[in-house]
Amino acid sequence: MIKQSWIQRSKQVAIASMIGASMLTSCNETKKKEMSRPNIVILMSDNQSYNHLGCYGDPIVKTPNIDQLATEGIRFTHAFCSAPSCTPARASMLTGQDIWRLEEGANLWGTLPNKFEVYPELLEKSGYLVGYEGKGWGPGEVDAAGRDRNPGGDQYDSFEEFYNEREKGQPFCYWFSSRDPHRPFRRNGGKKAGIKMEDIKVPAYLPDSKEVRKDIADYYAEIEHFDGEVASFVELLKEMGQWDNTLLIVCSDNGWQMPRGLANLYDFGTRVPLIIHMPKRFQGNRTVDDFVSLNDLAPTFLELADIQIPGYMNAKSLNNILSSKKSGIIEKERNFIITGRERHAFVRKNGKGYGGRALQTNDFLLIRNYDYNNWPAGDPPLYGDVDAHMLQYPCGAKMYLLEHKDEADVKPLFNLAFAKRPEYELYDLNKDPEQMNNVANDSAYKIQFDSLKKQMNDYLAKTGDPRVNGGDLKWENAPYYAEKDKHPRPSRSSIEKLGLEEEYSYVEE
């Protein structure tokens, strides 16, 4: 009996050990599976140029939380949006495609046809919980596309609300779209934030005046507010135990809302900050100089989630770069970027757009303006592709240019921002980093001009741009879904300062 009891106990211990080992194996496999399909959180500012963060070298704006993520993660020095306009830039990011492939999706205040699949849908089908907060895709009309929700997924009021719907072990993808630093800026934000206007370096394409410095200071204060929002998400992810297994992306949708910024194919409209952080999985404390696009995020997310990348996505996954341990140039073929624009706001008679394409390398920026007979910044006197587009709220830099446009030192800058442009623009970025001296017709640059022009046309033809291949430009006569913009009413202050009318109409009767 003693022997039998000992045998029984031995069997019980063995069975318990097997169960324990099985449970441990199961837990490890579950944890491994969760780690192999990371959570994804995008923290996007609204209209912020790449160089206005501490980690990108700005000495004035204080962004300690984003700077810390850049130190721990991977900072991209040459990241671009597909278009310098909110709606198409976001559409391209969601679809992993260039704007000229998205038909009406190439426009602001347009729609994104439902035949264009977006990465949140693909992640959701594979088991991810997906959602967004703030703007998501837009501004635009969702229903007109035959969609029953925003392409960003289901909308939530907070990350906590979203997380409460998560099932245990379920990976998630959340897109927080901040309103900062979108205009209008908070009144006297720069002063309240303690930003010293005298320390601000005004870019050469803007007049150096008190009004412009105040405008930039208020913009900086908005970015500092966004940095606080980033900090709150970091804290939440840590509290929820999701920090180590979350791929965190900090970026902007396009450049700042200054003359020659938003709605322009210069650096200041298309180049954005991009920081990717997941040091438990990808080597951090790195700076990458490859030319990349926000469009590349869609195939990156799908690859990390073990989902086959659809053939229609012409963007390229960043996974090789993330998995590398090197800084500098990782993939040598990523040595250029091509961006484009079509109709931004409804700011010309009958909503005419201003089509353009641009190719940028380390050394040159080539721009082709297809509608060079139109006003690039919108019809005068409102020049509505530069915010405030109806002059309906304060916009210090734009107003200064409009008020002082005939002064000798301001007129050249006014013309750079608002005057009509030639069909081609070429800038030598080594000599002219702020892109003010067009050398497209300079015989000394003929070889570079011809080479860049061919390179851009070849890419556009390969990717099916109807501007090059022929075909229907579906964005040209597509509806614009913000009716009030068609009959702009400037503010009383703008009317008095500039001698404007009470109301304008861009619709011919």
| Residues 311 and 391 occupy one common structural domain | no
Give pLDDT, residue 48: 98
Tell me whether residue 59 is in a domain. yes
- Residue ranges making up the domain that contains 447: 341-498
Name residue 42's beta-bridge partners. 175, 249
Tell me whether residue 406 is in a domain. yes
Last residue of a domain, one of 334, 354, 387: 334
| Residues 279 and 385 occupy one common structural domain | no
Distance of alpha carbon 79 from alpha carbon 45, whole angstroms: 14
| Residues 347 and 423 occupy one common structural domain | yes
| Residues 263 and 208 occupy one common structural domain | yes
Tell me whether residue 508 is in a domain. no
| Residues 353 and 372 occupy one common structural domain | yes
| Residues 315 and 368 occupy one common structural domain | no
| Residues 254 and 364 occupy one common structural domain | no
Last residue of a domain, one of 268, 299, 334: 334
Is the distance from CB of 314 to CB of 330 less than 8 angstroms?
no
Is the distance from CB of 392 to CB of 488 less than 8 angstroms?
yes
| Residues 305 and 454 occupy one common structural domain | no
| Residues 296 and 374 occupy one common structural domain | no
Distance of alpha carbon 126 from alpha carbon 247, whole angstroms: 17
**Cα–Cα distance list, 47 to 42, 147, 197, 254, 346 (Å):** 15, 26, 21, 5, 19
Element (H, E) at 370: none
Tell me whether residue 10 is in a domain. no
Q: What is the pLDDT along the chain (509 residues), one digit of tens a residue?
A: 333 443 454 445 454 445 444 444 444 444 455 558 999 999 999 999 999 999 999 999 999 999 999 999 999 999 999 999 999 999 999 999 999 999 999 999 999 999 999 999 999 999 999 999 999 999 999 999 999 999 999 999 999 999 999 999 999 999 999 999 999 999 999 999 999 999 999 999 999 999 999 999 999 999 999 999 999 999 999 999 999 999 999 999 999 999 999 999 999 999 999 999 999 999 999 999 999 999 999 999 999 999 999 999 999 999 999 999 999 999 999 999 999 999 999 999 999 999 999 999 999 999 999 999 999 999 999 999 999 999 999 999 999 999 999 999 999 999 999 999 999 999 999 999 999 999 999 999 999 999 999 999 999 999 999 999 999 999 999 999 999 999 999 999 999 999 999 999 999 86
| Residues 329 and 393 occupy one common structural domain | no
Tell me whether residue 7 is in a domain. no
pTM for this prediction? 0.93
Tell me whether residue 11 is in a domain. no
- Give me the CATH number covering residue 435: 3.30.1120.10
> What domain count does the chain have?
2
- pLDDT, one tens digit per residue, over 343-392 is 999 999 999 999 999 999 999 999 999 999 999 999 999 999 999 999 99
Last residue of a domain, one of 288, 316, 334: 334
Tell me whether residue 18 is in a domain. no
- Give me the CATH number covering residue 261: 3.40.720.10
3-state SS class at 326: coil
Distance of alpha carbon 133 from alpha carbon 236, whole angstroms: 15
Give pLDDT, residue 10: 47
Tell me whether residue 196 is in a domain. yes
| Residues 186 and 283 occupy one common structural domain | yes
| Residues 305 and 374 occupy one common structural domain | no
